[in-house]
C-alpha cells in the first residue's frame, strides 16, 4: 500500500505538467496524512479537473453565452406584453425606445437602479426597442415550481428559479454598504486596479499561510470556520463583524464584533473564504484578484459568470455544512501541496482578470438584451408615465 501511494504521488507530479514541480521539501507534519486515501482522491480529482479543463479562448463575453441561452430557453415561444404586465410588480420596468432609456418613476433601491442604468444608458443607442422587468431585490422572483413563468431579470438565482440573470448593479454602484464602503460596494473597474496592486505587494511566497474571512453572521454556514479560528488562530483568522441587524454579541457568535477589513488587505493571506449572503456574494469576484486560493462555500447561488468558473481549477468548492474537522483537513491538504494551491489561485485570478472586465459586463448586457428583444412578440411603446434616464 505504501508503494502504491508513493507511486501515485510520483505519477501525479509527472502528469500534471502545468504544475512546474511538486514540493518535496516541505516539512510534512504527518506521513499518514500525505499518503491517506482522502489525500490521493483529492489529488486525482484535481488532476482530472485540470486535465479536462479547456480555457475560454474568447476575448469578449462569449465565455458566458451559454448562460444567456439557458436563461432565455424557457421563453422560446415568445414574450408578450401580457406577460410583462403580469410581471411588473416584481421589479422596475425599463424600456428602450428609439435609442433612449426610460423607466418607471419609482425605483425600490435608487442606488441599485443607478448601477444598472450606467450600462443600459450607454448601450441604449445600440439596441432595438425593448421592454424588461428588472428586479433589484436580493431574492429572485420566478420559481419553477409554482405560478406562471414570467420574464423577470434578477442578478442571482438558484436552480429552483427561472429568472433571467443580469450583471449586478454593484459592478458600478449600489453594492453592500459597510463602514469601509459607506456608499456601497461598486466601481469594479477601480477595485480591479487596487486589488491588482495589492496582489503585487503580496506575492504568493510572502502571503501568510492562514485562511481568512471577515463578514457578518448572515447565516450559520460561517460558524464552523469562525469556531475553528478560535481554536487554531495560526491556521484560520475568521471573525464576525457587525451588520445593520446587530443587537448583541449573540449576533457575532458570543464574541465582540471584529473590525471590517478592506478587500485589498485580504491579499496578504493565502487562503480566502467566500460565503453566500442573502443571495450570491458580491465579494467573490474581488477575492480572486488577490491571487490567493479561493474557497467557495456552497454552490447554490449563481451570478451570470459563475458557471464559467470551474471547481478545482479556479477555486476550491466547500460544502455548506462542512465541519471544523473537514475545514481543517482541507486547509492542511493545501498547506502540504503549496504548488497546487498556487496553480489554482493563479488560474482563478487570470480568469477573472482576463474575462470579467467592464468590457465583458457591457458585452454581456448587450448580447443578453439583443437576444431577449428577439423574443418580444409586440412593439414596446411609451405610456406617458415613464421618466427618461439621461
pLDDT digits (tens, 9 = 90+) for 245-283: 666 777 777 778 889 999 999 999 999 999 987 788 999
Residue (of 288, 291, 316) closest to 206 by Cα position: 291
Known catalytic residue: 27?
Answer: no
Which of the residue ranges 233-247, 310-324, 335-349 would you say has the lowest mean pLDDT?
233-247
What's the whole-number mean pLDDT along residues 200-220?
Answer: 94
Strand partners, 389: 101
CB within 8 Å of 238: residues ≥ 6 apart: 211, 212, 213, 214, 222, 225, 226, 228, 229, 273
At 285 the pLDDT is 98
- 94 strand-pairing partners: 103, 132
Asked whether residue 154 carries a pLDDT value surpassing 80, the answer given is yes
Which residue out of 23, 138, 251, 350 is catalytically annotated? 138
Place of cell 469594479: 188
Q: Which three cell numbers stand for residue 11?
A: 505519477
- How is the chain split into domains, by residue range? 68-168+361-389, 189-302+306-355
Find out whether 294 and 348 touch, Cβ atoms under 8 Å.
Answer: yes
pLDDT digits (tens, 9 = 90+) for 1-47: 333 343 334 334 444 444 444 444 444 444 455 557 888 999 999 99
Q: Which of 24-38, 147-161, 232-246 has the largest mean confidence? A: 147-161
CA-to-CA separations, 171 to 74, 174, 192, 219, 243, in angstroms, rounded = 27, 9, 11, 24, 22
pLDDT tens for 51-75 read 999 999 888 899 999 999 999 999 9
Instruction: State the pLDDT at residue 278.
Output: 77
> Could you give the CA distance from residue 298 to residue 71 in angstroms, rounded to a whole number?
21
Those residues whose C-beta lies under 8 Å from the C-beta of residue 117, and which sit 6 or more positions away, are 101, 103, 389
pLDDT band at 291 (very low <50, low <70, confident <90, very high): very high
pLDDT score for 127: 99
Cα 245 to chain centroid, rounded: 24
Q: Which of 104-108, 196-200, 385-389 has the lowest mean pLDDT?
A: 104-108
The region that residue 206 occupies, defined by phi over 0 for left and psi between -120 and 50 for alpha, beta otherwise, is alpha
Three-state SS string over the chain comes to CHHHHHHHHHHHHHHCCCCCCCCCCCCCCCHHHHCCHHHHHHHHHHHHHHHHCCCCCCCCHHHHHHHHHHHHHHHCCCECHHHHHHHHHHCEEEEEECCEEEECCCCCCHHHHHHHHHHHHHHHHHCCCEEEEECCCCCCCCECCCCCCCCCEECCECCCECCEECCCHHHCCCCCCCCCCCCCCCCHHHHHHHHHHHHHHCCHHHCEEEEEEEECCCCHHHHHHHHHHHHCCCCEEEEEECCCCCCCHHHHCCCCCECCCCHHHHHHEEEEEECCCCCCCCCHHHHHCCCCEEEEECCCCECCCHHHCCECCCEEEECCCCCHHHHHHHHHHHHHCHHHHHHHHHHHHHHHHHHCCHHHHHHHHHHHHHHHHCCECCCCCCCCCCEEEC
pLDDT in the model for residue 363: 98
Residue 373 C-alpha cell reads as 428583444
pLDDT of residue 27: 44
Assigned superfamily of 189-302+306-355? Glycogen Phosphorylase B; (3.40.50.2000)
Instruction: State mean pLDDT over 190-214.
Output: 98
Task: Identify the pLDDT of residue 36.
Answer: 78
Mean pLDDT to the nearest integer, 278-296: 95
Per-residue burial over 206-239, b if 16 or more Cβ lie within 10 Å, else e, is ebeebbbbbbbbeeebbebbbbbbeeeeebbbbb
Tell me which of 349 and 21 has the higher pLDDT: 349
Closest by CA to 272, choosing from 349, 219, 197, 378, is 349
Q: What is the band of 92 on the pLDDT scale with cuts at 50, 70, 90?
A: very high
Q: Give the mean pLDDT of 115-121.
A: 99
Per-residue pLDDT averaged across 177-197, rounded?
93
Residue 247 has a pLDDT of 64
Amino acid at each position: 500500500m505504501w508503494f502504491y501511494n508513493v507511486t501515485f504521488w510520483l505519477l501525479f507530479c509527472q502528469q500534471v505538467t502545468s504544475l512546474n514541480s511538486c514540493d518535496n521539501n516541505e516539512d510534512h507534519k504527518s506521513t499518514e496524512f500525505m499518503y491517506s486515501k482522502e489525500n490521493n482522491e483529492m489529488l486525482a480529482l484535481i488532476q482530472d479537473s485540470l486535465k479536462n479543463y479547456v480555457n475560454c479562448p474568447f476575448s469578449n463575453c462569449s465565455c458566458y453565452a451559454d448562460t444567456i441561452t439557458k436563461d432565455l430557453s424557457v421563453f422560446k415561444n415568445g414574450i408578450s406584453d401580457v406577460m410583462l404586465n403580469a410581471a411588473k410588480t416584481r421589479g422596475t420596468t425599463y424600456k428602450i425606445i428609439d435609442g433612449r432609456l426610460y423607466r418607471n418613476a419609482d425605483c425600490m433601491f435608487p442606488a441599485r437602479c443607478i448601477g444598472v442604468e450606467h450600462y443600459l444608458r450607454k448601450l441604449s443607442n445600440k439596441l432595438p426597442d425593448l421592454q424588461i422587468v428588472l428586479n433589484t431585490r436580493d431574492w429572485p422572483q420566478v420559481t419553477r415550481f409554482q405560478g406562471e413563468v414570467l420574464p423577470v431579470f434578477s442578478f442571482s438565482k438558484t436552480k429552483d428559479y427561472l429568472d433571467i440573470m443580469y450583471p449586478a448593479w454593484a459592478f458600478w454602484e449600489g453594492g453592500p454598504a459597510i463602514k469601509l464602503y459607506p456608499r456601497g460596494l461598486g466601481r469594479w473597474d477601480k477595485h480591479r486596479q487596487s486589488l491588482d496592486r495589492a496582489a503585487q505587494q503580496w506575492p504568493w511566497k510572502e502571503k501568510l499561510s492562514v485562511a481568512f474571512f471577515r463578514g457578518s453572521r448572515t447565516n450559520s454556514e460561517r460558524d464552523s470556520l469562525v469556531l475553528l479560528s478560535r481554536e487554531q488562530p495560526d491556521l484560520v483568522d475568521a471573525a464576525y463583524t457587525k451588520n445593520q441587524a446587530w443587537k448583541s454579541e449573540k449576533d457575532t457568535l458570543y464574541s465582540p464584533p471584529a473590525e471590517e477589513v478592506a478587500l485589498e488587505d485580504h491579499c496578504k493571506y493565502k487562503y480566502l473564504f467566500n460565503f453566500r449572503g442573502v443571495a450570491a456574494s458580491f465579494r467573490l469576484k474581488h477575492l480572486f484578484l488577490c491571487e490567493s486560493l479561493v474557497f467557495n462555500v456552497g454552490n447554490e447561488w449563481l451570478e451570470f459568470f459563475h458557471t464559467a468558473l470551474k471547481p478545482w481549477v479556479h477555486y476550491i468548492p466547500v460544502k455548506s455544512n462542512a465541519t471544523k474537522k473537514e475545514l481543517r483537513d482541507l486547509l492542511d491538504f493545501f498547506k502540504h501541496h503549496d504548488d497546487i494551491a498556487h496553480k489554482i489561485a493563479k488560474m482563478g485570478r487570470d480568469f477573472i482578470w482576463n474575462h470579467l472586465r467592464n468590457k465583458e459586463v457591457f458585452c454581456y448586457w448587450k448580447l443578453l438584451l439583443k437576444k431577449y428583444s428577439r423574443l418580444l412578440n409586440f412593439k414596446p411603446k411609451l405610456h406617458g408615465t415613464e421618466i427618461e434616464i439621461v
